[in-house]
Amino acid sequence: MDWMYLIYFLLGMLLFCGAKICRKGEWNEEYTSFGQMKILQGATVLLISFHHMAQKTCAPWHESRYIVHGLDLFVPMGYLFCAVFLFCSGYGLYRSLKTKPGYLKHFIRRRILPVIAAYYLSEIIYLAVRVLMGEKTGALDIIWYLSGLHMANFNAWYIIAIIFFYFVFYFSFRFCRKERTAILLVFAAALLYTAGGALIDHQNDWFMRGEWWYNSIILFPAGLLFAKHEKKITAFFKKGYIVWLILSFAGIFVAYRLSQYLNGSVFGYYGENWGDPLKVLHRLGSCAGEWLVCICYVAFNFLLLMKVKLGNRALVMLGGVTLEFYLMHGIFVELFGYDFLEYTKSLVYIRSVPLYIIAVLACAAAATVLFRLLLKALLKAPLFKVPEDNMVK
């Protein structure tokens, strides 16, 4: 028996266990509620962990002797899962802005600084693990890592990107009188951020290490725009719902094939030549194709939620610790892989993919709990507290 079939079955059961399908003429009116968003984010962070495990076990860039098939489906899907997170982040910020009086007053201290704290805490943990696993690090290397400018945790790129766009959101909505102008500024920032990423070749010394830093970023301002016009957009998609659902699902595959063609035959991200205008245009063309895939994928997710009300309690719990789980699971992806970050032996090489998945998820769950406890203790520091007389009620 191929145990991977059981893994995929259990994954499907986990994603949809407790879900309720609305009858004809009925809708999940809570499809963008806090609870539904948390379940979606819990499911998405789990899928991201499968993507990283797939990259470690069966990505085509590994030597053939280390490739073990089973998770191949997840190898190219990471940017789609990040697109969901970015869209939910943009949506959530706008909804909080509209429903919580004085939301921006303590935004940096209450929203941005805790994420920065989580980032640096994860960097310290990853650095400690890397040293324990035998990485040769001098004093300058340690300072470089602890500064956060050279990442010990490669998966933390998303945290850096989202912190940047939190600041963009804050300054845009803090100082623009019109919401439309603020949203346009966030879109402009996303375009400039993407152009900046396209200027930089693949490298391991600084930020913007590759296209994954920007090939789904447009979904953050898209989430803001959707939140602003949610009622109109929802009403629009309710008309001819089945058609839109099918089109969005088919669009994922059509857009993906198009993006693959653009990346492989027309444009492409590789061909390292810093500042070459033609190469920058090629990267932007490839990125545009992947943005289209992201839009179709996110649209399908939310169209599905309009009729399917999620209700899995395990995913509710995971949705409450997505940041912690995201930052911690990568350690075990490496510790149980065929090597540790390509420079030394792993702690234990688990070649069986089903056992590898179970080990990574079990250890990541335990590490998430410990990381959350450490982060909570850190966030009790005066830096993160809002004075009681200034608290937003």
| Neighbouring C-beta atoms of residue 345, cutoff 10 Å | 11
Cβ-based neighbours of 338, under 8 Å, separated by 6 or more: 56, 62, 66, 346, 349, 351
Has residue 292 been placed in a domain?
A: yes
The per-residue pLDDT of the chain, averaged, comes to: 91
- Strand residue runs (E) in the chain: 20-21, 308-309
pLDDT category of residue 28 using cuts at 50, 70 and 90: very high
What percentage of the chain exceeds 70 in pLDDT?
97
Ramachandran angles phi, psi of 361, nearest 5°:
-65, -40
Give the tens place of pLDDT for each residue, 174-233: 999 899 999 999 999 999 999 999 988 888 777 888 899 999 999 999 999 999 999 999
Has residue 14 been placed in a domain?
A: no
Has residue 7 been placed in a domain?
A: no
Has residue 392 been placed in a domain?
A: no
State how far the Cα of 315 lies from the Cα of 390, in Å rounded to an integer.
35
Sign of CA pseudo-dihedral 170, 319, 146, 157: negative
Has residue 148 been placed in a domain?
A: yes
State how far the Cα of 251 lies from the Cα of 231, in Å rounded to an integer.
23
The pLDDT score that the predictor gives to residue 236 is: 96
Instruction: Kindly tell me if the per-residue pLDDT of 273 is higher than 80.
Output: no
52 burial via Cβ count (<10 Å: 0-12, 13-18, 19+): buried
Give the tens place of pLDDT for each residue, 293-320: 999 999 999 999 999 999 988 999 999 9
The pLDDT score that the predictor gives to residue 275 is: 67
Instruction: Kindly tell me if the per-residue pLDDT of 390 is higher than 50.
Output: no
pLDDT category of residue 393 using cuts at 50, 70 and 90: very low
- Entry pTM: 0.93
**Which whole number is the average pLDDT over 141-169?**
90
State how far the Cα of 323 lies from the Cα of 371, in Å rounded to an integer.
10
Instruction: Kindly tell me if the per-residue pLDDT of 75 is higher than 50.
Output: yes
The pLDDT score that the predictor gives to residue 137 is: 80
Domain that holds residue 111: 29-384
Has residue 40 been placed in a domain?
A: yes
The pLDDT score that the predictor gives to residue 391 is: 38
Has residue 5 been placed in a domain?
A: no
Largest CA distance in the chain: 65
| Neighbouring C-beta atoms of residue 241, cutoff 10 Å | 13
The pLDDT score that the predictor gives to residue 203 is: 82
Burial of 275-310, coded b for 16+ CB within 10 Å and e otherwise, reads: eeeebbebbbbbbebbbbbbbbbbbbbbbbbbbbbb
233, 299 contact by CB (below 8 A)? no
- Count of domains observed in the chain: 1
Has residue 3 been placed in a domain?
A: no
Give the tens place of pLDDT for each residue, 238-248: 999 999 999 99
State how far the Cα of 332 lies from the Cα of 313, in Å rounded to an integer.
24
Helix (H) or strand (E) holding 45: helix 34-58
